[in-house]
A and B are shown apart, each in its own frame.
Chain A
Amino acid sequence: MPKQQTKWYQPRLGFWGVVAMLLMPFQVFALTKINAASTEVSIQAPAPWVVKEQVKAREFSSLHSPSHYHLVDKQINGTAGKQVYSRYVYTLTDPSGVESGADIRMRFDPAFESLVVHAIKVLRDGKQVNSMQLSDIQIISAEDRQANNIYSGDVDAVVLLSDVRVGDVIDYSYTIAGVNPVFGNKFSSGAALGWSVPVDKVNVRVLIPSSRSLQTQFINSDAKFSVSENDGQRLYSLQLLNTAEIEEEDGLPAWYDAYPYVQLSEYKNWAEVAQWASNLFDVDHQPSAVLAAYINTLKSLPLEEAISAAINFSQDEVRYLGLELGENSHRPHSPSETFANRQGDCKDKALLLSVILNQLGISAYPALVSTTNRAHVSDYLPTHAAFNHAIVALDYQDTRYWIDATMTHQGKQLNSKFQADYGQALIVDAATTTLVSAVPSRNAESHIAVQEKVITADYSSAVEWTITTTLTGQEADRLRYRIKSEGQNKMAKAYLNYYAKRFPSIEALQDLQVLDDLNSNTLITKERYLVPGFWQLNAQKSAEFALHADYARQYVELPKAIKRSHPLAVYPHISIQHEITLQLPEHIDFTDELRDQTLQDQHIKFTSALLYDNRLLTLRNSYRALSNQVELVNMTEHLALLDKIWDNLSYYNSITNVTSDPGVNEMHNLLQQLNNRLMAHSAWRGE
């Protein structure tokens, strides 16, 4: 499965939150101080360049619940290294606000940053009621991504305030000084301008030497900087009063940011970013003896086979592990080191694969991408912080392939490997001048075909239900991973329990069959069940039944937010065909029920057909994504379309007069006996 990691940017905690940050569950990875000797924390007054903002008092009754933010202040000094001053002032107006707002957390990377705490005050009726010592500050490891095998070295400085009450004002400020030397001396930063709560005052100041030029870009905001020069320094400043709360609707495209933000970058263009990246990847490319020996074994293979083997090796035999400490947050390890340790993160694996392919005579480069912004990287200013992932661009037989070396359990051949659509990429090469399209020319689509057959000999006995599912592309990769990591038996049980929600007495008639063609990347599963309770006899003695061809339901669900201000994501590059056929005991005229329709807009296409052929009633639905998002202008029609599609995912009907057929009870008894014999022979359940 693809690993999305690498700290290529400062976490944009400010976007979703001041509040979100404070509401983060308090995860204690270690209650002792970590690397206390190497962690620089002090309590000092703010530096002279910081301008203290005044905070106006307000009537308690006019304040928001559970916390009311009076001030969010961010001041950045880029004149000598980088110092970032932050201050938050908020009133706790409800016990739930006290619950979350009484814990202060300040994150930094001690490898190159130091923390100076200026003040942490609890104000009650205008007076400070607490005191703060250095010993109140606990340093704990903050490895949020260790579940993904990524270790950044970040720590949280945590202060747990005591005796905090409703009505108290919390006012705390601190400066984090230092910058990862891997970024050189290029300035890149940003500041959030809105949150999911209103804020009385937002203050942003950025100081930079006048000799350095800075690009600025506002996102989702009409704000503008005031710019002034003084004493060889340029000041960018802005203040916003009474910022509105931003409602983050569900179903947003991953690249879409609902929050206002300002971005600042010293990079003039993407060529400069590419140059920076190229220098970073300029580690020792010379293969070690063992790596060279491995490359020689590849050279003995036909070229395409060698390419496939190299990719498979980097994906499946080099463990994903992100030790992104210090400069290794962005600088890859040498290919020989990655090869020797058989572990690395995305940039390590990308570089290793590129070097191996180069040695085979193949043009291949690491390429930087963003798994969130994808094709919208160019919406932002050029910056080293634009990317969070590295893949490989390789050219073979006039085709460019985009290979993700962190994906595992893929098809084994180059021509059938799924290629993720990352939208835009920056090729790590000194000659790169701009972003390029990273939309794969092939194998970017995934397809799922589900074929179900329900065989019934009467209208009361258990039916036989077979399900054949065929997956290609990323869907095949995902299921393959699940089968290998969970085990086939566990998966079979999970499937059975899932169906048992609808049919509690369901029994499996055979083990889950899995046919996996790694060459074509096609994975097929076959299931077979005996299902009592398929038919439901109603008060009118009619046998009710339901056919569900709804595999696509997850893609056509209406969002919670129907009245929207933001676009709606459409899961791209997927097509689904789901067909269920009910084989009836006799011919029944369904002519009046038959339908064949297409429901489509420019974003999705859905077809639904109810067909009948000689005792076979089939509901056949297909779904295909045509784009990756729905703009606001098309929203109303699109949501109405989703509603219509929902009505077609299933078919319900009943067969009348089922209890008056001759031999009904005798047939039911015979089928019961036959099914008992079937279940008794677990070693053989049909061929």
Chain B
Amino acid sequence: MQVSGIHALRLMMMSCILLLCGCSSTGSSDATPASNNKVLATPTSNLQFNQMFTDALNNGDSRTLHTHIDVLTIATQLRSKDSVQFINPLATAKNAAELKTQMVAGLVAISQSSSWTYLYSEALSDKILASYYRINTEDSYNYLTFFQDAESYKIYDFHPVALQFSALDFLVQFGQLFSRYKGTTDGLALEQIITNLNQGKIDVVVSNYQALPSKVAAEPALNDFLLRKIQQLPEAQGQTLRTSLLKSAEARGITSLVFEADYIQQDNFKQAISIVQTLPAFARQDSKMQSELAILHAYDRDFTRAILYGRQAVMQDPSDEEAFFVLFQVALLAKDFTLSIAVLDVLVAKFDYRMEPSVIQEFDESSDFMRSAEYQQWQQKRLAS
């Protein structure tokens, strides 16, 4: 599994962390962001805003990103979420400005190795819009929600699906977490975890975490923080922490998209499927995740479901070539050669792929198909035309 993302963490108050934990089984082509500052027109619709914002994300255009993330709204939202913690307007404004800077930095960093796809938006209320995005890396996908002011369309918060909290909510919850345990031994233990993390003492962090009372270990803000932190660590250390978190999460019956790849590596496809099923609807219904479910079910040898999810991926986005490739793989695994031919026909006619034998044999379990009468016939027709 590949993760990417940059975050900055300050103890207690400031955390703006973007965590990207992709789904392992499907992948996309590389994005090549190019910085391209340009004067931005005022969007006349939310669609136009998101089209512009997507361009800015994909181009790493920090100036445009700055223009469309609103400090005032961030500050207002922080105060409305916790009027005690953010009682001081000046301090709150400063927090909001820092948060914005880190948001922009994080988004630009992502754009270095990922591309963004705008999916669609939804009005959560008269005043709030949620715009749903997919982040495409070389071999994984992730999903994120941007929260916007419904009138100005400006962004004030975001929420990666792998995490429980949005950026603002995490800030609030993390602060409240330490307030709750302030002056207690549990509070000291929490501070130790943070300190040891900052010092890179991961083994100590793991034993600190495992020693926590279960009530504290189950605190959502703590787990969110640790998940965010995993990305920052070198791979081996990240893996150590992740294994500990996974065990703890399993014991509590909690899942996270972060762990999907772990389950796939263990061939625990059913668990991987259940994780994908916990995604919010906008992510779960995306063609990439429907393809993910298709291939996971195929690996789990449930070909009925695999084909039906493959169908849903195609229905969801008939211009997504990858959905057809996944469906082709699923059809091969299912030994459904009629379906395999039908998909091949689309790959050739609609997407202009040649689908030579050398390409087909790269797919798993393709040999039976290539020996089949259906394929032989298809080949002959192709050669004759």
Interface residues of A (CB under 8 A from B): 455-458, 464, 583, 585-586, 612-616, 661-663, 665-667, 669-671, 673-675, 677-678, 681, 684, 686-687
Contact mask for chain B residues 294-334; partner A; CB cutoff 8 A; 1 contact, 0 none: 00000000001101101110111011000000000000000
Which of B310, B312, B318 touches A686 (beta carbons < 8 Å)?
B312
Tell me, rounded to whole Å, the shortest Cβ–Cβ distance linking A650 to chain B.
23
B251 to chain A, nearest CB (A): 27
A663 touching B308 by the CB < 8 A rule?
A: no
Question: Cβ of A678 and Cβ of B346 under 8 Å apart?
Answer: no
Instruction: Say yes or no: B319 contacts A673, CB within 8 Å.
Output: no
CB-CB < 8 A to A671: which residues of B?
314-315
Chain B residue contacts of A455, Cβ below 8 A? 315-316
Asked whether B118 is an interface residue with its Cβ less than 8 Å from the other chain, the reply is yes
Q: Is the CB of B346 within 8 A of A663?
A: yes
Give CA–CA (A457, B120) in the complex, Å. 17
B352 on interface, CB distance cutoff 8 Å? yes
Query: Do B47 and A612 touch (CB < 8 A)?
Result: yes
- Bound state CA distance, A585 and B319, in angstroms? 7
B305 touching A674, Cβ below 8 Å = no
Taken together as a complex, chains A and B put the C-alpha atoms of A457 and B312 apart, in Å, by 10
Contact A666 B345, CB 8 Å, known A585-B319, A684-B305, A686-B308:
yes
| Partner-contacting stretch, out of B56-64, B185-193, B336-344 | B336-344
The docked-state distance in angstroms from the alpha carbon of A669 to that of B319 is 16
Chain B residues contacting A673 (CB-CB under 8 Å) are 338-339, 342
- Give CA–CA (A583, B50) in the complex, Å: 18
Give the CA-CA distance A674 to B346 in the complex, in Å: 13
Question: Which residues of chain B are within 8 angstroms of A663 by Cβ–Cβ distance?
Answer: 345-346, 348-351
B223 within 8 A of A: no
A616 CA / B122 CA spacing, docked (Å)? 11
* B204 CB-CB contact with A under 8 Å: no
A667 and B47 within 8 A (CB): no
The minimal Cβ–Cβ distance linking B307 to chain A, given in whole angstroms, is 6
| B119 located at the interface, meaning its Cβ lies under 8 Å from any Cβ of chain A in the complex | yes
The 3 closest A-B pairs by CB, nearest first: A663-B350, A663-B349, A674-B311
The 8 Å CB contact of B46, one of A457, A585, A613, A681, is A613
Q: Is the CB of B304 within 8 A of A667?
A: no
User: Do residues B342 and A669 form an inter-chain contact, with CB atoms below 8 A?
Assistant: yes
How far apart are the CA atoms of A456 and B317 in the complex, in Å? 9
Q: Could you tell me if B312 and A670 are in contact, using CB atoms closer than 8 angstroms? A: no
Contact A681 B308 (CB under 8 A): yes
B121 at the A interface (CB under 8 A): yes
Determine if B314 and A670 form an interchain contact, defined as CB atoms under 8 angstroms apart.
yes
Measured CA separation A168–B342 after assembly (Å) = 81
B139 to chain A, nearest CB (A): 25
* B278, chain A: closest CB distance, angstroms: 13
Chain B hits for A669, CB < 8 A: 342, 345
Contacting A at CB under 8 A, from B332-385, are 338-339, 342-343, 345-346, 348-352
Q: How large is the interface on B (under 10, 10 to 19, 20 to 34, 35 or more residues)?
A: 20 to 34
| Known contacts A458-B318, A662-B350, A673-B339: A613-B121 contact under CB 8 Å | yes
Asked if B338 contacts A667 (CB within 8 A), the reply is: no
- Which A residues are in CB contact (< 8 Å) with B119? 614
- Inter-chain CA distance A662–B347, complex, in Å, is 11
| Cβ–Cβ contact B312 & A666, under 8 A | no
Task: Please give the distance in Å from A687's CB to the nearest CB on chain B.
Answer: 8
By the criterion CB–CB under 8 Å, are B346 and A670 in contact? yes
Report the minimum CB–CB distance from B313 to chain A (whole Å).
10
- Residues 26-50 of B, flagged 1 when their CB comes within 8 A of A and 0 if not, give 0000000000000000000011001
Q: Does A464 lie within 8 Å of B315, measured CB to CB?
A: yes
A667/B311 in contact, CB under 8 A: no
B11 to chain A, nearest CB (A): 40
Contacts known (A458-B318, A585-B319, A674-B314); A666 close to B342, Cβ less than 8 A: yes
Separation of A458 and B120 alpha carbons in the complex (Å)? 20
CB distance from B329 to the nearest CB of A (A): 15
Give every chain B residue within 8 A of A662 (Cβ-Cβ).
349-350, 352
Q: Give every chain A residue within 8 A of B118 (Cβ-Cβ).
A: 614
Closest chain-A Cβ to B136's Cβ sits at a distance in Å of: 16
Is there contact, CB below 8 Å, between B312 and A681? no
Whole-angstrom CA separation of A615 from B287 in the bound complex: 14
Closest to B44 in A: A591
Shortest Cβ distance from A455 into B: residue: B315
User: B307 contacts which chain A residues (CB < 8 A)?
Assistant: 674, 677
Give every chain B residue within 8 A of A674 (Cβ-Cβ). 307, 310-311, 314, 339
Q: In the complex, what distance in Å separates the CA atom of A586 from the CA atom of B345?
A: 20
Q: Determine which residue in B314, B319, B350, B352 has the highest number of CB atoms from chain A within 10 A of its CB, and name it.
A: B350
Chain B hits for A583, CB < 8 A: 316
Q: Is the CB of A666 within 8 A of B349?
A: yes
Bound CA–CA A586/B318 (angstroms)? 8
Identify 13 residue pairs between A and B in the complex whose beta-carbon atoms are under 8 Å apart, listed by A's number: A456-B315, A614-B119, A663-B348, A666-B346, A667-B349, A667-B350, A669-B345, A674-B311, A674-B339, A677-B308, A681-B308, A686-B308, A687-B277
CB-contact partner of A667 in B50, B310, B318, B352, under 8 A: B318
Structural contact, A586 and B308, CB atoms closer than 8 A: no
Q: What CA separation (Å) do A663 and B338 show in the bound complex?
A: 17
Assuming A666-B346, A686-B312, what are 9 further A-B pairs, CB within 8 angstroms? A455-B315, A583-B316, A667-B318, A670-B342, A670-B345, A678-B311, A684-B304, A684-B305, A684-B308
Which single member of B120, B315, B319 contacts A586 (CB below 8 Å)? B319
- Beta-carbon nearest neighbor of A673 in chain B: B342
B308 touches A614 (CB 8 A): no
What are the residues of chain B within 8 A of A677 when measuring CB–CB? Answer: 307-308, 311, 339
Q: How far is the CB of B351 from chain A (nearest CB, A)?
A: 7
Least CB distance from B52 to A in Å reads 13
Q: Contacts A457-B318, A614-B119 given; indicate if A667 touches B346 (C-beta within 8 A).
A: yes
The smallest beta-carbon distance between A234 and chain B, in angstroms, is 66
Tell which of A616, A666, A675, A687 touches B120, judged by Cβ atoms closer than 8 Å. Answer: A616
- In the assembled complex, the CB of A578 is this many whole angstroms from the nearest CB of chain B, namely 16
B37 to chain A minimum Cβ distance, whole angstroms, is: 25
A350 to chain B, nearest CB (A): 41
CA distance A662 to B346 in the complex (A): 9
Contact B318 A585 (CB under 8 A): yes
Query: In the assembly, what is the distance between CA of A583 and CA of B118, in Å?
Result: 15
Closest B residue to A464 using CB positions: B315
Query: Judging by beta carbons under 8 Å apart, are A457 and B314 in contact?
Result: yes
- Chain B nearest Cβ from A464, distance in angstroms: 6
Q: A667-B350, A677-B307, A677-B308 are in contact. Are A614 and B314 (CB under 8 A)?
A: no
Across the interface, which residues of B come within 8 angstroms of A613, CB to CB? 46-47, 120-121
In this complex, the member of B307, B315, B350 whose beta carbon has the largest number of chain A beta carbons within 10 angstroms is B315
